[in-house]
Amino acid sequence: MKKEPRLSLGITIAGGRDCRSRLPVYITSVQPVGCLHREGTIKRGDVLLSINGADLTQLTYKEAVSVLKAQTAQSQVVLRVIQTLSEDIEEEPDTCSKDERNLDDSREDALNWTPLWTRWLGLPSHMHWCRDIFLHKTNNESWGFSIVGGYEESHGQQPFYIKTIVPGTPAHFDGRLKCGDEIVAVNGATTVGMNNSSLIPMLKLQKNKVTLTVVSWPGSLL
C-alpha cells in the first residue's frame, strides 16, 4: 500500500508475547481516519505477521508498537497478516484487553474488544505458545481431568481438549490446567493422529508422573 508518509494506518492493536496468554499481535480496530480503512482489506481480529519485512510474531507489545510506528513513516507499507474468522456477534472481555493500547488515539470502545478464543484455533502451530505442565500423583489416584477430541473417521483430526477438572485431584491442586486447554503432546509424544481411545489408556499408564504439553487460549472454556 502506498501512502503519504505522515498518514496514519488508523489501527489499534493488542497482544504481544509479554501478554498473559502470549498472544500474537492482533488488530482490535480499524479506524475511519486511517488509510487501512479506505484500503478495506485489513479487518478487526487479523493477526499481524510483519510490516515491511520486519517480523512482529515474537515481539512484546511495546516492541511491536515501536516497529509499527517506525515503518508507518514510510511512503509504502507492506503488511502480512493472517485473517481470522469473524465472530463479532459473540465478543467477550478478556484479560489481555488490559494490554491494549491506542496507536492513533482512537475511541475507547476498541480497547474493550477482544476476539473469542475460537479465533486462535486457526493459527499455524508455529505461532502457538506451548508450555509443559508436570503432574505427580500416587499410584491409586487419577490425574483428575477428562478430555474430548482426537481423530474420528467422520470428522478427521480434532484437537484434544481438557473438558473437566475434578476437584481434589493432582490436576486441580496443580492449578495450571484449565478447561479448554489443548493437549498437543504427552511426555514429548505428539497427540496428532491419535484417537480418544488411544490417548486415555496412555494417560492411565503413567504411574506417578506425566508431562503434558498444552496450548492455552484466553477464555477457552468448553
pTM surpassing 0.75? no
Which of the residue ranges 70-79, 95-104, 125-134 would you say has the lowest mean pLDDT? Answer: 95-104
Q: How far apart are CA 48 and CA 5, in angstroms?
A: 20
pLDDT digits (tens, 9 = 90+) for 113-163: 777 777 777 788 788 888 999 999 987 889 999 999 887 766 777 889 899
Q: Report which DSSP code applies to 7.
A: -
What DSSP state is assigned to residue 96? Answer: G
**Predicted pLDDT at 193:** 86
User: Which amino acid is present at 152?
Assistant: E
pLDDT of residue 109: 57
- 147, 219 Cβ separation under 8 angstroms: no
pLDDT digits (tens, 9 = 90+) for 12-60: 999 898 887 788 999 999 988 888 888 888 888 899 999 999 999 999 9
Ranges 56-70, 140-154, 195-209: which has the least confidence: 140-154
Judge contact between 112 and 92, C-beta under 8 A: no
How confident is the model at residue 96, as a pLDDT? 47
